[in-house]
Each structure stands twice: as structure tokens, then as C-alpha cells.
Amino acid sequence: MRAALRAGDVWLETSRRYANPESYLIPPASWPASRPEVCTLTQTPQDGAARVNERQTELEALLRRFDDELPHHPSLRIEDESLVVGPLHAEDKPPSLVALEALINARLPLVELPDLLMEVDGWTGFSRHLEHAGGAEPRAPELLVHCHDNETELPIAEHTSDTAGYTDLVFSLFDLLGLQFSPRLRDLGDQKLYRFDTSIRYQNIGRLVRGTLKPRLILGHWDDMLRVAGLLKFGWVTASLLSPSSSRFDAKTC
């Protein structure tokens, strides 16, 4: 029951957090008037086919480039249908950076990390919000909280995270909202690559492209996807309120 409530499969009429997911969206009666503004804010076309065609062109160009350049990168190879990435060598630091490091080190005292954390905790009390790692359940859509509940005057155009914050759904939501998602992925070779056109043959990366995207499924729900983007852009609900309901799609659509 708890999982069903969080997923939005069942809901409570009197609850705000566990309400009917449809109640979070912009009402159907007012949506036609709001759609143009949402598309302007997110730089998303009202015609879903236009966006799908745009992304298909980009993806096919990137896959073609990947296929062409793979043999020319000695640190990359394919083993057992997985991409193996060799160690990367660090670039030499420019003299200006070396000088800046020396200046900072001369001004800042050398302290142990636990002492620093305890001092900051004394100022802010952040530790009362922490949970034990064994009981945590990270939800990737919470990344949207940091972008859309941002109360500073600095607009966020790109967000990065570690592997725990990555799902295919997050990539989709960021794209709908006109944002760039750039995660640092662990076990990169185990990630599934997708294509639109299964008739295209790749000489070097064919074994890596194992997923097929379904434009008809995307276009069939395009208007609802824009409504989700709109309610976040307009601030009708916070990303933290929406994310439990959104997270269920990862298991059902990927």
C-alpha cells in the first residue's frame, strides 16, 4: 500500500501529498490557453512530432559519430557486448591554476574534515536532516527540486549528479523543462543505448545499441508531458511533491 500511494496508483481524496496525480496537472479546461506560454518557457514545440524528429536527427548523428570514432580511441574497446573505458590521464595544470592553489593554501588553515563538518553543523544544524545510508531510498526525480525550487536569482541551465541520481526518466524531464542533465555515470559500459531506426547498421557499436525508442508512445502522451512541465514551470506544485508519483514510470516504461 505504501508503494502504491507513493507511485500514485492509489490516492487519498483529502491528502495533498498523496492526492490523485491528475489533480496536480493544469486543469484540462484552462490548459489550451496555458499551452503556448508553457512551450515558450520551456522552448518546447507544441507539436510533439517536431521535437521527436529533432531528437532523432541529433541521436542518429551522435551514434554515427560514436561508431566512426570508436576505433580511433585506444582507451575505448568493446568486450562481451559492453563498452570498456580505460583510465583517463589528467591534463597538466596551467601555471595560473598552480599559482591560485598556492595563494589559497597560504590563506586557509589545514584542518581535518570531521572538524570542519562539526563546525559547519554548529552553524547550520544540517546533521538533523541526515538519514542513515542503510535506510535511505534515493529518488532521482528529487534532482528537479534543486533546479525548480531554486530561490536564488541565478538561473540553472545545467545540472550534474552521480550515478545514484540518474534514470532515463530524469533525462526526459530535464529535456522537457529546457534544462541540460549531465550526470557522472559509473559503469558506463553497462548503460543501454537507444535508437529510433532499427534499419541503420553500425559497424562498431551495433552490440551496444540494444534499446529501441517508441515515438508513437511519446506522441500519444505528448500533451500530458507538456502539462507536467507546465505545472513545474508555473510553480503549481513543487518538484518534491511530484517526484514520488513520477518515479513509478521508470519501472513501467523503460
- 230-240 residue pLDDT tens: 888 887 766 66
In this structure, which long-range contacts are made by residues 15-22, counting pairs with CB atoms below 8 Å and at least 24 apart in sequence? 16/241, 17/241, 17/244, 21/245
Task: Report which of residues 3 and 124 the model is more confident about.
Answer: 124
d(CA 77, CA 85): 7
- Range name among 95-109, 120-134, 141-155, 213-227 with the lowest pLDDT average: 141-155
Q: Is residue 247 predicted with pLDDT exceeding 70?
A: no
Cβ pair 227, 21 in contact under 8 A: no
Cβ pair 141, 243 in contact under 8 A: yes
Burial (CB count within 10 angstroms: exposed 0-12, middle 13-18, buried 19+), residue 40 = exposed
d(CA 149, CA 206): 41
243 CA to centre of own chain: 12
Q: Taking residues 119-148, report their average pLDDT.
A: 66
Task: Report which of residues 37 and 191 the model is more confident about.
Answer: 37
pTM for the complete prediction? Answer: 0.66
Q: Taking residues 78-87, report their average pLDDT.
A: 82
- pLDDT tens-digit series, residues 154-186: 667 777 777 666 677 778 888 888 888 888 777
Calculate what percentage of the chain has a pLDDT beyond 90: 28
